[in-house]
């Protein structure tokens, strides 16, 4: 539940802030009638994202057991790549996001209302498609899909509420810290999804060490237990983790978190 909540909260708030920035800029430009076209673009992006999620689920259900495992492994690997790219992209472009969107909206004003809908669509669709793929992969890697679905709904509801309150200037939060903390949390979730992908590839025989466990705690904290379900849904814990899974999980966290939390060094002027 916790991992899907974090995904929905982070991705949902990013999308909500983007929509809020676009709408606010349109209104300040004295073009309020065009706001409806922004919502048309947003609706299109949401619909396409839901369609992708349904397509992923349908595809996995129609494949053979081996094909389904391969599909789950590949989509999980893709989800890790996308979410890792996303957190670094947001860290790099957060400060210029408002001005970049304003420039795109100005260009859309010249092209017409449909261009404005296109700006909103393409601004939101990135978040939507990433969320669909990452949520699908996360659902595969956790023990309790019902709890994960509840976390997803709660996360989106919370993100929309926070985004609305920020838009109405009734809530002020330090967005830089928020995105930093949730970025760290997403990287931890991504590490769990990556570990699941490794597990699937080991089961298929594409990676070694499928039966070489660093520990096997299935009898104590199995996937159906409350503790096991919580650990699986928060940090990607697997009750019977192989050495290869543990090694890649740890290596991913050390490298990616190290790069993500690295502070830029300011150059000191040379002394004459």
What CA–CA distance (Å, rounded) separates 173 from 206? 46
Mean pLDDT of the chain: 83
Dihedral of CA atoms 131, 137, 140, 142 in degrees, nearest 10, equals -70
N- to C-terminal Cα separation, the chain: 59
Instruction: Report yes or no on 269 lying in a domain.
Output: no
- Ranking 208-212, 226-230, 257-261 by mean pLDDT, the lowest is 226-230
Please say if the pLDDT value at position 28 is more than 60.
yes
Q: If you search the block for the tokens 């076209």, which residue do you land on?
A: 37
**How sure is the predictor about 270, in pLDDT bands with cuts at 50, 70 and 90?**
very low
Number of H helices, E strands in the chain: 10, 0
What CA–CA distance (Å, rounded) separates 120 from 22? 7
DSSP state of 33: G
Instruction: Report yes or no on 272 lying in a domain.
Output: no
Average pLDDT over residues 14-42: 91
Q: What is the pLDDT of residues 29-47, one digit of tens each?
A: 888 899 999 999 999 999 9
Q: Is the pTM of this model over 0.75?
A: yes
Rounded to 10 deg, the angle between the 175-204 and 226-235 helix axes is 110
Instruction: Report yes or no on 266 lying in a domain.
Output: no
Instruction: Report yes or no on 242 lying in a domain.
Output: yes
What domain range includes position 54?
2-261
Instruction: Report yes or no on 268 lying in a domain.
Output: no
For 40, 109, 110, 131, 163, the CA distances from 118, given in Å and listed in that order, are 9, 11, 13, 20, 21
pLDDT above 90 covers a percentage of the chain that reads: 29
Per the document, the length of the chain is 272
Please say if the pLDDT value at position 222 is more than 60.
no
Instruction: Report yes or no on 120 lying in a domain.
Output: yes
Q: If you search the block for the tokens 């430009």, which residue do you land on?
A: 29
What CA–CA distance (Å, rounded) separates 45 from 124? 6
Instruction: Report yes or no on 94 lying in a domain.
Output: yes
Task: Provide the token pair at 194.
Answer: 């990556």
Q: What is the pLDDT of residues 237-265, one digit of tens each?
A: 666 788 899 899 999 999 999 999 987 65
What CA–CA distance (Å, rounded) separates 77 from 86? 14
What CA–CA distance (Å, rounded) separates 78 from 197? 10
pLDDT score of 81? 92
Q: For the beta carbon of residue 177, count every other beta carbon within 10 angstroms.
A: 9
Q: What angle do CA 135, 234, 175 make, to 5 degrees?
A: 75
Instruction: Report yes or no on 169 lying in a domain.
Output: yes
Please say if the pLDDT value at position 55 is more than 90.
yes
- In sequence order, what are the residues at sequence separation of 6 or more whose Cβ sits closer than 8 angstroms to the Cβ of residue 122? 41, 45
Total domains in the chain come to 1
What CA–CA distance (Å, rounded) separates 26 from 34? 7
């Amino acid at each position: 539940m916790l991992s899907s909540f974090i995904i929905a909260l982070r991705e949902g708030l990013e999308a909500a802030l983007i929509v809020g920035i676009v709408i606010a800029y349109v209104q300040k430009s004295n073009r309020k009638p065009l706001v409806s076209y922004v919502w048309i673009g947003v609706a299109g992006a949401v619909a396409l994202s839901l369609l992708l999620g349904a397509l992923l689920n349908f595809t996995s259900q129609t494949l053979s057991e081996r094909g389904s495992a391969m599909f789950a492994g590949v989509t999980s690997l893709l989800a890790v790549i996308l979410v890792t790219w996303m957190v670094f992209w947001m860290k790099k472009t957060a400060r210029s996001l408002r001005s970049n969107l304003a420039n795109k909206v100005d260009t859309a004003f010249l092209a017409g209302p449909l261009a404005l809908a296109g700006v909103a669509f393409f601004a939101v669709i990135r978040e939507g498609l990433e969320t669909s793929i990452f949520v699908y992969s996360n659902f595969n890697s956790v023990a309790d899909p019902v709890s994960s679905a509840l976390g997803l709904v709660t996360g989106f509801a919370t993100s929309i509420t926070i985004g609305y309150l920020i838009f109405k200037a009734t809530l002020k939060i330090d967005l830089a810290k928020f995105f930093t903390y949730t970025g760290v949390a997403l990287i931890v979730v991504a590490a769990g999804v990556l570990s699941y992908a490794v597990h699937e590839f080991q089961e298929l025989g594409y990676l070694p060490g499928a039966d070489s466990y660093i520990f096997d705690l299935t009898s104590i904290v199995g996937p159906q237990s409350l503790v096991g379900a919580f650990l699986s849904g928060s940090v990607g814990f697997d009750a019977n983790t192989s050495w290869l899974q543990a090694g890649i999980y740890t290596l991913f966290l050390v490298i990616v978190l190290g790069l993500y939390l690295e502070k830029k060094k300011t150059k000191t002027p040379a002394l004459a």
